[in-house]
Amino acid sequence: MFREVSLSERLERLLKLLTNDCPNVEAAALVSTDGLIMASALNGDADEDKVAAMSAALLSVAEKIGRELGRGDFEAAIVRGSEGLAIVTPVDSEALLVVLAGKRSRLGLILYEMKHVSNMLKQELKGVQPL
């Protein structure tokens, strides 16, 4: 018999497209704009609650910069550190896609793949009622 795949399993499979198919992507997560984890494909070192909370905080600052400095609507926040990248992009008005990548990552390729996965995540979330 076939079993129905849950929404959380479908979301995790989409996130794994980033971690499995995109070189140097170490972790991916779908988080709410409130800072709660929705789904993840994180490695053992990443704390999903910390990733979710910090991503929501980064969103808040990025939106304020866009608004108050005339940069427009939020499209992406990229933090480059000595050990790699943290990238946050919106999926829809309620969800963010977060990627953690190593220092040898190709930013353009990651952003391209994130856009592709984000569109698929948006389709999965469409019609899901907020809690």
Q: For the chain, which domains are there? A: 25-124 (3.30.450.30)
pLDDT at 51: 94
| For residues 77-106, average pLDDT | 96
Q: What is the value of pTM for the model shown?
A: 0.91
11 pLDDT above the threshold of 80: yes
Beta strand 84-90 with 77-81: parallel, antiparallel or unpaired? antiparallel
pLDDT band at 1 (very low <50, low <70, confident <90, very high): low
Least confident range of 64-68, 76-80, 127-131: 127-131
What pLDDT shows up at residue 127?
A: 67
How confident is the model over 74-100, as a mean pLDDT?
A: 96
Distance CA 119, CA 46 (A): 24
Residue 55 has pLDDT above 90, yes or no: yes
